[in-house]
Amino acid sequence: MIDQILSYNKTFVAQKGYEKYITDKFPDKKLAVLSCMDTRLTELLPAALGLKNGDAKIIKNAGGLVISAFDSAMRSLIVAIYELGVQEIMVVAHSHCGACHMNYDHFHHQMLARGVSDETLDTIRKCGIDLNSWLEGFKDTHTSVKKTVEIISTHPLVPKDVAVRGFIIDSETGELGEIS
């Protein structure tokens, strides 16, 4: 598949397909969106929010979560605020998310089946990584969004004038519901 993508890319560049996407690094709407990496949202999310290329910084991960005050999602948001002028943040989870009810036991069995040894997993634990919490999902999407919004809005490096709001998007229709 990657070789097919590389072949397509050569044609895309040669035919100047990139020209309609040219913008700068600063989001026109001064907006950052933290959302899930779910494939159903690849085109649906920006379309449902009315965003075009260059409007917003879109940060994606499994579940659309900030799992700790200093994880990569939070780092990206801090950079977006201070380096790129972001003034508003939307946390957008979605219906029927695969991260809901995700847990380490599920991954553990899959890892063993794919050749990762328990010895390797024990070594990771000895380095201070709690795989149970690192690979834990969430039980309730509404609660998860509220928690992520709270982590961001109370973060000591997030200025009080940055608006942070949470939403759940229907992964079929794109309907957006705000979490208060």
**Annotated binding site for Zn(2+), which residues?**
36, 38, 94, 97
166: enclosing H helix or E strand: strand 163-169
| Mode of pairing for the β-strands spanning 31-36 and 176-179 | unpaired
Cα gap 21→134, rounded to integer Å: 36
Q: Please identify which residue in the block is written with the tokens 């999602």.
A: 73
Q: Residue 115: which residues within 8 A CB-CB, separation 6 or more? A: none
Contact 63, 144 (CB under 8 A): yes
Q: Which residues of 153-176 are buried (b: 16+ CB within 10 A; e: fewer)?
A: bebeebeeebebbbbbbebeebee
The binding site consists of: 36, 38, 94, 97
> Which two structure tokens, joined as six digits, stand for 143?
């609660």
| Phi–psi pair at 160, nearest 5 degrees | -65, -20
